[in-house]
Amino acid sequence: VLKLFKLLHRTRQEVFKNDTKALEAARQKINEEFRNNRGETSEEKINELLKIASDVEVILRTSVIQAVHTDSDKIVLIPRKDLLQDNTPYLDKPTKK
């Protein structure tokens, strides 16, 4: 449980880097969720909660991209290096393998 708690906080720091409001909101939410379920004794419920927390970490790490308003009608995306993937080039006539 503690390992997952720390992993969520590390992921939060990486995903929301340089965004103090998002960092604080994510910190509070993580701490609140773990605090609310601290007294849970059912092994089945604990495993379910750990699965949810693990899924949240994966979603944060793989799906969240920071964006900054640069103008009234423009937004600049700031993707992390681990989110960038090589693009498959478009081919008019696909080749058969």
* Mean pLDDT for all residues in the chain: 87
Q: Amino acid identity, residue 56?
A: V
Residue 16's CB is within 10 A of a number of other CB atoms, namely 19
Round to whole Å and give the CA distance between 63 and 34: 22
Question: Is the model's pLDDT at 69 over the cut of 90?
Answer: no
Higher per-residue confidence, 90 vs 49: 49
The Cα–Cα gap between 76 and 70 comes to 7
77 or 21: which leads in pLDDT:
21
Nearest to 68 by CA among 17, 12, 13: 17
| pLDDT of 5 higher than 90 | yes
Q: Where are the domains of the chain?
A: 1-83
Whether the full predicted model's pTM is greater than 0.75, yes or no, is: no
Residue range 33-50: mean pLDDT, rounded? 92
Residue 97: predicted pLDDT: 64
**CB-hemisphere CA count at 13 Å for 86?**
2
Give the mean pLDDT of 7-31. Answer: 93
